Amino acid sequence: MTDERPLIICCSTQYWEETWFRKQHFMAHLAPRRDIVYVEPSHSILRPKPSTTPTELRNPLLAPRLRSVRDGLRIWTPPRGLPFWTHAPISRAQYRLWGGALARTAARLGHRRTWLWLYQPLWAQAIETLRPERVIFDLVDDLSAYEAQAHSQATMARSIEIALAASNLVLTTSDPLAAQVRRRRPEVRVEVVGNGVRETWLDDRELPVPPELAGLPRPWLGFVGAVFTYLDYEVLDATARAFPGGSLILVGPIHAPAAADALRRHANVHLLGARPQAEIPRYLRAFDLCLSPFKVGAVRRAVNPLKVYEYLGAGRPVVSTPLESLLETPVGRMIRFAEGPERFVAAVRETLAEEADLVARGEAKAIAARRRDAVRPHTWEALAGRVEAILDEMEQTWRG
């Protein structure tokens, strides 16, 4: 039987069972009304997943795997990729193969029409063999600005150009990103849908302090997120030096090992590595102050950091380097911005002093509630509803 509805094929950078980001939230929300195939990432056949990786997160060797997780939502796990697939010719061949496999999957599911929803721009190279009716590009960062080997950057830049040229709808996380897209594709509808926080993380209940924090000296200055090259390590180094009697705590996967090793030279810096998503609220509630230190550059100009919504949703004070996407917003007004190591450290000191004064006057809970209220319009549930409304409206336009 043929299903006349389009099958949405969402090509992600995350495995479904891993930490949930916007793509999982949006697809889970859309699934009851629309058929979704969520495409997980892969890895080279020369670089298998560690033996500790659960079976469901291991890519098959030769054939893709399709499984259903709920009504309207299936997960498609591609087989392992060709060696050296970030090199342009191999990358094109790889994604054309996967595009053909996805087209056959759509046909087996009874769908003649497909919409390609891109989070991973490299999948734009599959358009030739998948032949989607529409392309939706959710551009979450200035992806071409991330550091990588030259051939990988070139492949990514080319894929972004293909994605933008083919797109019928572009979603971005910030106004600066939207402005970039509008300059390049003025005829295409572009909508800004920022990042958010889970609604269940906005309550004010007490949570147990993670055991590895319990013995650390305070204040606890916390960061949650990937330890990546785009962080301002001069700011982090200065903060560690300025609070030798406190603790600088970083929770998240380490993708910049040299920078992480430099931070470890400080006895008061604690890099805890990745933690399960369900445990993150315990760290957020425990921190005395939360940090968002992005260094000057293209990544920072466009970024709309997920972490600041989670920090404020936990009711915590936030010090950040300036973020163009938030400076003039209600969320931004809840954040203290400071540029450079000296000003950043001063902002941390001032914020800690203000927080201590609020506690002494019995006003800390009221201020924490105001922070939560600032991000309440940005819950994933609210954002997903907005995305669905945009999609419904665009579908009417496309039919006409």
pLDDT of residue 382: 95
Judge if 63 and 32 occupy the same domain: yes
CA distance 149 to 97: 24
- Which residue range(s) make up the domain with 42? 7-196+380-399
Indicate whether 177 and 286 sit together in one domain. no
Is the same domain home to 235 and 286?
yes
> Which tokens sit at 307?
């972490």
| Same domain assignment for residues 52 and 133 | yes
H or E, element range at 133: none
Given a cut of 60, whether residue 145 has pLDDT beyond it is no
- Percent of the chain at pLDDT above 70? 95
Looking at the 3D structure of the chain, how many domains does it have? 2
386 within some domain: yes
Same domain? For 185 and 207 the reply is no
Kindly state whether residue 90 falls inside one of the protein's structural domains: yes
Residue 148 has pLDDT above 60, yes or no: no
Sequential DSSP letters for 39-51: EP---BTTSPPPT
CATH assignment at residue 61: 3.40.50.2000
Q: Check whether residue 325 and residue 392 sit in a common domain.
A: no
Kindly report whether the global pTM for this prediction surpasses the value 0.85.
yes
- Same-domain status, 229 and 139: no
pLDDT given at position 54: 67
Q: 1 lies in a domain?
A: no
Say whether both 27 and 126 belong to one domain. yes
129, 174: one domain: yes
Residues 168 and 298 in one domain: no
**Rounded-to-integer distance, Cα 304 and Cα 174, Å:** 6
pLDDT (tens digit per residue) in 308-322:
999 999 999 999 999
If you average pLDDT over residues 380-399, what whole number do you get?
94
pLDDT of residue 298: 84
206 in a structural domain: yes
Mean pLDDT, residues 155-179 taken together: 94
Q: How confident is the model over 221-261, as pLDDT tens digits? A: 999 999 998 999 999 999 999 999 999 999 999 989 999 99
Is 259 in the same domain as 126?
Answer: no
Report if residue 2 sits inside a domain.
Answer: no
Residues 317 and 303 in one domain: yes
Please give the structure tokens belonging to residue 306.
């997920």
Structure confidence by residue, pLDDT tens digits, 178-231: 999 999 999 999 999 999 999 999 988 889 999 999 989 999 999 999 999 899
Length of the chain: 400
Q: What is the mean pLDDT of residues 55-65?
A: 80
238/253 Cα distance (integer angstroms):
22
